Chains A and B, each alone.
Chain A
Amino acid sequence: MKHSMVAQRAAKMLPPILLAVLVVGLWQSGVFHRIFSLQEFTVAYPDAIARAIGAEAEDLVRHMGYTFLEAAIGFAAGSSLGFIAAFILSEIPWARRGILPVISGLAAMPIIALAPLMALYFGLGIMSKVAVIVIMTFPPMAVTTFKGLTSVDPDLEDLMVSYAAGTKDVLFRLRLVWALPYIFTGLKLNVTLSLIGAIIAEFFAARSGLGFRMSYALDTFDMPVAWATMGLAALLGVAWYQLVAYVERRSIPWHVSMRGQAD
Chain B
Amino acid sequence: MSRTALTSNNSGGAAPPLARGGAPSPSHLRQAARSSGSALIVVAALVVIWEVVAVAMVAAEVPSAETKLSAPHLIAQRIVDEAPLIADNLRVTATGALIGLLGGVVIGVAVALVIAQTRFLESAVYPYIIGGQMIPTIALAPIILVATRNPTLTRFLVATSITFFAVSLSTLKGLKSTSHGALELMRSYNASRLQVYRRLRIPGALPFFFAGLKIAAPLAVVGEIVVELTGANSGLGYTILVSQYYGPNYATLFWAAMVITLLLGVLFYTAAVVLERVLTPWQPEFRGQ
How long is the Cα–Cα vector from A207 to B35 in the complex, in angstroms?
Answer: 45
Q: How large is the interface on B (under 10, 10 to 19, 20 to 34, 35 or more residues)?
A: 35 or more
B229 near A113 (CB under 8 angstroms)?
Answer: yes
> Chain A CB within 10 Å — which of B124, B143, B254 has the most?
B143
> Across the interface, do B124 and A256 meet the contact criterion of CB distance under 8 Å?
no
Question: Known: A16-B128, A19-B124. Contact between A214 and B229, CB under 8 A?
Answer: no
Task: For A211, list chain B residues within 8 Å (CB).
Answer: 139
Report how far A215 CA is from B258 CA in the complex, Å.
Answer: 23
Asked if B135 contacts A121 (CB within 8 A), the reply is no
Q: How far is the CB of A105 from chain B (nearest CB, A)?
A: 5
Query: Is the beta-carbon distance between B240 and A147 smaller than 8 angstroms?
Result: no
Q: Which of A18, A112, A214, A230 contacts B226 (CB 8 A)?
A: A112
- The reply on B23 being an interface residue by CB < 8 A is no
Q: Are B12 and A256 in contact (CB under 8 A)?
A: yes
User: Which of B41, B229, B263 is in CB contact (< 8 Å) with A116?
Assistant: B229
Considering the chains assembled together, what is the distance between the CA atoms of A42 and B140 in angstroms? 13
Instruction: Identify which of residues 44-84 in chain B touch chain A, using a CB-to-CB cut-off of 8 Å.
Output: 46, 64, 67-68
Shortest CB-to-CB span from B129 to chain A, Å, is 10
| Given A98-B38, A116-B240, residue A110 in contact with residue B265 (CB < 8 A) | yes
A130 contacts partner chain B, Cβ-Cβ < 8 Å: no
A110/B262 in contact, CB under 8 A: yes
Interface residues of A in 204-220 (CB under 8 A from B): 204, 210-211, 214-215, 218
A226 to chain B, nearest CB (A): 5
Report the bound CA distance from A97 to B125 in whole Å.
42
The CA of A140 and the CA of B219, in the complex, are separated in Å by 13
The interface residues of chain A, by DSSP majority, are classed as: helix
With both beta carbons as reference points, the residue of chain B lying nearest to A190 in the complex is identified as: B1
**Bound form: Cα–Cα A114–B68 in Å:** 11
A11–B128 Cα distance when bound, in Å, is 16
B225 adjacent to chain A (CB < 8 Å): yes
**A189 to B1, Cβ gap below 8 A?**
yes
**Are B12 and A108 neighbours in the complex by a CB distance under 8 Å?**
no
CA distance A189 to B2 in the complex (A): 6
B26 at interface by CB-CB < 8 Å = no
A238 within 8 A of B: yes
Chain A: minimal CB distance from B58 (Å):
16
Among B123, B226, B264, the residue within 8 A (CB) of A12 is: B123
Contact stretch, chosen from A58-66, A79-87, A161-169, A192-200? A192-200
Q: Identify which of A113, A121, A196, A226 gathers the most chain B CB atoms within 10 Å of its CB.
A: A113
Contact between A226 and B266, CB atoms less than 8 A apart: no
Chain A residues closer than 8 Å to B20, beta-carbon distance = 154
Q: A211-254 vs B: 1/0 string, CB under 8 Å?
A: 10011001001010011001001100110111000000000000
Interface residues of B in 1-43 (CB under 8 A from A): 1-5, 7-8, 11-17, 20, 34-36, 38-39, 41-43
List 10 extra interface pairs beyond A108-B269, A144-B2, A150-B17, CB under 8 A.
A98-B39, A102-B43, A112-B229, A116-B240, A181-B14, A192-B1, A196-B139, A210-B139, A211-B139, A221-B146
Give 29 CB contacts A-B under 8 Å: A12-B123, A15-B123, A16-B124, A16-B127, A19-B128, A105-B266, A109-B265, A109-B266, A112-B226, A113-B229, A113-B261, A117-B244, A120-B67, A154-B20, A185-B8, A189-B2, A192-B136, A204-B229, A218-B142, A223-B143, A223-B147, A227-B143, A233-B136, A234-B136, A238-B131, A238-B135, A255-B12, A255-B13, A257-B13
The interface of chain B, by Cβ under 8 A from chain A, is 1-5, 7-8, 11-17, 20, 34-36, 38-39, 41-43, 46, 64, 67-68, 120-121, 123-128, 131, 133-136, 138-140, 142-143, 146-148, 218, 221-222, 225-226, 229-230, 236-237, 240-241, 244, 254, 258, 261-266, 268-270
Question: Which 6 pairs between the two chains have the least Cβ-Cβ distance?
Answer: A98-B38, A15-B124, A108-B269, A256-B13, A42-B147, A241-B134
